[in-house]
Amino acid sequence: MKSTQWMSLLGLANRARKIISGEELTVKQIQSGKAKLILLSADASANTTKKITDKCKSYEIPFKMVENRHLLGQAIGKEARVVVAVLDDGFARKLVTLLD
């Protein structure tokens, strides 16, 4: 995985205010249909992973795993983040291609 590319793009999406992070906020965005893509860190707790992936599946929101919470947080200039929701179609599509 080309971590620098997706991280730069996620940082750009963050500056454009097209993402939100945190489990509760992410779940709300999934339920409201605003989330276009969910990024979940591979080191999230089993509980969080199940909760988020189940929500994604029931609302048909794509999700991608990233190496760890530190990279996810670093990409958006924050402390470690376990889950991030991308709220923009363009950013979501491009991130999917970079994370495949």
Q: How far apart are CA 27 and CA 58, in angstroms?
A: 12
Residue 2's pLDDT is: 59
What value does the mean pLDDT of the chain take?
96
**pLDDT tens-digit profile of 25-45?**
999 999 999 999 999 999 999
- Chain CA centroid to CA 22, Å: 9
pTM of the model: 0.95
Which residue do the tokens 């991030």 mark? 84
Quick count: other Cβ atoms within 10 Å of Cβ 1?
A: 13
Question: pLDDT digit of tens for each residue in the chain (100 aa)?
Answer: 457 899 999 999 999 999 999 999 999 999 999 999 999 999 999 999 999 999 999 999 999 999 999 999 999 999 999 999 999 999 999 999 999 8
What domains, with CATH codes, occur in the chain? 3-99 (3.30.1330.30)
Which residue do the tokens 């605003």 mark? 34
